[in-house]
Structure 1
């Protein structure tokens, strides 16, 4: 499952590279950080990773909030990074904040089966593995994209 997700995210990055191609392989790290912020960091601010047995709000509500948070984060980052006019950059910051102002759906009662220490370790491990994943994905995809666009890659 993780490989399928990685391929999907890599294809998304390759599609974005056609709009704004990295001129250096190291720029893939910035694309990877943007992916991490969009798909992991921003949604985690409202819906942190949960261990099995943890009480959670309605699944459909959480999925809607997660998708809208990821979408608004992507749009916000794009406006901040690629817009030239300062008003668009301010709009990007506002769009970033919207889902967090609205707030993520929360369970009526907070309860969990696992000890708090295990939950804290799980959250840290989840963040660390995701940041490594996104940085590696950004770097490798930029390297492959540049290699292909330079005509060095032969299938």
Structure 2
């Protein structure tokens, strides 16, 4: 996945898993609703995207569903959709600021990666978990990781 698509899918999975729960902060709920509406409005004529979005919303932790959504977004050209990238970042920032414990449930587990360049940032994993796990990688250029970590221990 391109870095933009990775961010979008991570935000969608996180929003779908937590954005509608009573315990989520209002800023997280609002950011999730805005991202979901943008995708539904912008890609309403693309059944691959809308179906994959609904599929991820039903079981956001399922990697196969996330990958299906990533492929649909990639095919739709979402990696070049600046507004979609911005809304995704807004949701991730809202989670990090208002509900950091929610971000801990989403990490990255990439089985096979082939890319010209890799930029990964703002990835948290549950205490004792893995922030980024890559099975096989083929990166032609540079790889950059920042703000990768785990949550603080629960007291």
Structure whose CA Rg is larger: 1
TM-score, normalised relative to structure 2? 0.27
TM-score, L = length of structure 1? 0.27
Q: Pick the structure with more strand per residue.
A: 2
Q: Which has the higher contact order (CA 8 A, sep 6+)?
A: 1
